[in-house]
Amino acid sequence: MLGKIIDYYTIKNQVFIVFETKKIIATIIDDGICNFKEEETSSFAVDVNGFIFDYINPVVEKIDNAIKITHGRYKYVINDNFILSIYFDDVLISSDISYYNNKTNEFIDNSLLEAEGHAVNIEEEYKYIISKKINSNDCLYGLGDKTGFLNKRGYEYDMWNTDDPAPHVDSFKALYKSIPFFIVFNKSYSYGYFFDNTYKSNFNMAKNNSEVVSIGFTDGPLNYYFIGGNNLKDVVSNYTYITGRMDMPKRFTLGYHQSRWSYSTKDEVIKLVDNFKKYDIPLECVHLDIDYMDGYRVFTVNDERFSDFKNFTEEMKNKGVKLVTIIDPGVKVDSNYDVYNYIVKNKLVATENNEVYVNSVWPGESVYPSFIDPKLRTYWGELDGKMLDLGVSGIWNDMNEPASFNGPLPSKVEFSDGNRIHYHDEVHNIYGHYMAKATYEGMKKHNNERPFVITRACYAGTQKYSTVWTGDNHSIWSHLQMAIPQICNLGLSGFAFAGCDVGGFSSDATKELLIRWAELGAITPLFRNHSAMGTKRQEPWQFDDETISIYRKAVKLRYELIPYYYDLFFEAANTGIPAFRAVVLEYPEDSNTYEINDEVMLGANILASPVVEQGKRNKLVYLPSGTNWYDYYSYDKFEPGYHIYDAPLDKLPLFVKEGAIIPKYPNYESLDDPKNIIFEIYPGDGTYIHYQDNGVDFNYEEGEYNIYEISHIDGNIRIDLSYNGYKLYDKIYIKYKNNIQEYKEIGTILKIE
C-alpha cells in the first residue's frame, strides 16, 4: 500500500505526489493523455521518455485528502493509496477499486486434476494489482493478437511472449506478442490504458467480476498511461502518438507473398516463380525459410542449395520477384563461425552464473544475442546490411520470443545493455522488439530505403520497426474465423501492417479453406501464403483448375486495390489509424457493430464480409447505419441493415460506401513504378485524397510526394493536384459503372452519366 498523501508539488507539466511509502509522478502529455509512474522509471516502448513540456500547465489543487489535476476536458482525482478517478466533462468514466501489493497465494490441492491429466494453472505471485471499475455496457478491445473474439470482456490473458505450436483456441492466455494496451468503449466515451511494464502480467478483463478489470504484474515499477479522446479513433491515434507509428511501407510489400517451410533450393524457387507466371498469378515476394542457410547459421547461405546467391537474387528481380530471408536470434555454437566468435568475445550474449548461456534451437546448441545492447544492435544491423548486399529485399525475424528447445530460458539469465544487467524475466517480452529495432536500423542505415522487417514476437511500439503476423496458425476453419478479430485488435493496438499465414501454417488445407483464406488475404495488410513442412502444399496448382482460377481472381483483386491500401497506409503513418479496421472504429454510433467478428472495414469506404464457414455459398451481411452501400462488383444498391448476400466460392463480398471514390490499378501493373491509375466513382457526391510517391525511400518525409484531390458533385468530376516533385501518372482514368474515360487535364471538369 502507498499510504496517505503527504504532499505534492509541480514542475512544468508534471505533478509529484508524495505518499507515505513512495512518490508518484503524473505527467500531463496532452488533453486526455496522462502518464502515472514511479520516479526513475524508463521505458523500452516509448522513445521520448518523459514528455516534459513548458506549454502545458495543468490546474492542480488539493481537495480534502485528494489531489485534483485538471487539463482540458479531463480531471484526474488521486486519493490515498493511489486510488485514481478520471472525469471527462465532469462525468466519471474510470475509477480504481484498489491498488495493492499481493505476495500471497491461496493453496489449492490440484492433485486430482493432475491425476486425470488436466493442465493445472499455477497461480502467479504479483508485485501489485490494479483493479479498475467498468460499466455494464463497456466493450474491451485491443491487447494485440490474443485469441478469441473482438470484444475481450469476460476473458483473461497473460503478457508473456509464447511459442506454442498447438492449435490456438479461445482459452489460450498468451501468444507471441505482448501489447499491454486495451480500450474501454461505449457510445458515450472511449479511453485506453497502456501499462508499460515488460514483466509477465495478467489482464483479467472482467472475467471474475463483470464490473472490474484487474491487471497484475509479477515485478517492475508502476508505469501506465491513461489515453482518452473524443472518440475511438482518437484513442488509437493518441496511443500511437505515445508508442510510435509505422513508416510508409515499400510499395512492393503490399503485393502477394509466397512462402513455405521450406523452398530449400534455388531450382525449387525458380520453378515456383515460373509457375506463378505460367498460371498468370501476380507474385511480388518469395520468403526463404531456414533451409537456405548453411547449417542454420544465421547470415549464411548454403552454397550447394543456393549457389551464386547474389546472381540468383538478381535473376529473381529480373522476373519481378523479391526475396525475403528468415533470420532467427539463436547463433550456433561453432568456434569456426565468425558471428558466434564476435558476439561471445565482445560479451554481447546472454549469460548465467558468469558463463555464456547456451540453449538449443534450429542450429543445435546456440547462444542468445543481447539485443538490448546498442553495440550488439549495431553489429547485427551491419549483418542485415550484408544480406541487402546479396540482393535480399526484406528480413523476416522468427523464433524471437525467444523460443528454445531445451526448456524456457531461466528467469535469472542475464542480458547486458552495455551499462547494467537485466534479467530474462524483464527482457523476455521485449526481446523480439529489440531484434526488430536492430534489423530496422541496420537496413535503413545501409541504404536509406524503407526497411521491410517482419517479426513474430514483439512488444508495444514495435510497429515503428516491423510488420507482424499472427504466428503458427493451423489450416482449420476456426483459425480463418479468428484471423479477422485478431488483425482488427492488432490494428487497434497500433499495428497497422499485419497479417496471418494464408491457408494456415500447420495441418492440411482443403481446397475450399485455401480459397476462402485467399479471399481474406486479399484484403489483409500483409498477404502471405505460408505452410509448414509435412503439410499439404498450398500453392494453388496443387489443387485443381478451379482453385487456380479463383486464387488468381483473389490475388488480382488485391493488386487492383493496392493504390487504395497505399493511401490507407499514408493515413496510418500520420495518424496511427489502421487500414484493416474493426467496423466499430468507423461506426461507433451503431451498436450493431460493437461485436462484429466476421466483417471488417477497409479504410472508411469499403466493407468486406468474408465467408469463413465451410460449405457456405451466401453470407448474412450487416451494413452499418447512416449511409447507403453499393456492391463493389455490380453497383447494386443496399440500404443499411442485414442482408443475405450470394457468395459463391469465387466471390468475396465487398460493399462500397455511398459517395466513395476508390483508386485502382488497371489490370496488373508493376508495383515498382505504376504508370496509370483509375479512380472509380460510386453513386453519391464525395471527395477523396490520393497519395503518390516513389514507393521506395524516405524522400516523402522531405515532402517529395503528390496529393490528388478528386471531387464528385452532381456527376461532375474534378481533380486538383498538389505537386511536390514526384513524377505524375502517365494516364488517369475515371470509371463509373462500365464507362471508363481518360481524364486528360488536371483542374478541369469531366462529366459522367
Task: Check: CB of residue 225 under 8 Å from CB of residue 196.
Answer: yes
Among candidates 572, 564, 580, which has minimal Cα distance to 679?
564
User: Which residue out of 158, 289, 291, 401 is catalytically annotated?
Assistant: 401
Contact 568, 602 (CB under 8 A): yes
The grid coordinates of residue 627 equal 449511409
> How many CB atoms lie under 10 A from the CB of residue 347?
14
Active site residue 401: yes
Task: Report DSSP letters for 470-534, one per residue.
Answer: --S-BSSHHHHHHHHHHHHHHHHTT--SEEEEET-SBS---HHHHHHHHHHHTTSSEEEE---TT
Annotated catalytic residue 31:
no
Distance CA 340, CA 459 (A): 26
Q: Is there a catalytic annotation at residue 508?
A: no
Tell me how far apart the alpha carbons of residues 126 and 124 are, in angstroms, rounded to a whole number. 6
Alpha helices in 323-423 (DSSP H): 338-345, 374-389
**8: which residues sit within 8 A by CB, 6+ positions away?**
15, 16, 17, 18, 60, 62, 67
Residue 729's SS3 state is coil
- Rounded to the nearest 10°, the torsion over CA 149, 154, 160, 166 is -50
The answer to whether the beta carbons of residues 107 and 197 sit under 8 Å apart is no
Among residues 465, 478, 343, 358, the alpha carbon closest in space to that of 409 is found at 358
What ranges make up the beta strands (E) of 261-357? 285-288, 322-327, 331-332, 351-352, 355-356
Cell of 182: 486495451
Closest CA to 228 of 86, 43, 46: 86
The residue annotated as part of the active site, out of 30, 138, 291, 398, is: 398
Q: How far apart are CA 465 and CA 270, in angstroms?
A: 30
CA distance 82 to 96: 9
Give the Cα-Cα-Cα angle 394, 400, 404 (nearest 5 degrees): 135
| Radius of gyration of the CA atoms of the chain, in A | 26
Catalytic one of 163, 284, 441, 472:
472
Whether the ω angle into residue 402 lies within 30 degrees of 0, i.e. cis, is: yes
- What phi and psi values does residue 190 have, to the nearest 5 degrees? -140, 140
C-alpha separations of 308 from 213, 216, 313, 518, 658 in Å: 57, 53, 9, 34, 54
Rounded Cα distance, 642 and 593, in Å: 12
- CA separation for the pair 358, 354 (Å, rounded): 12
Q: Is the peptide bond before 466 cis (omega within 30 degrees of 0)?
A: no
Catalytic residues: 398, 401, 472
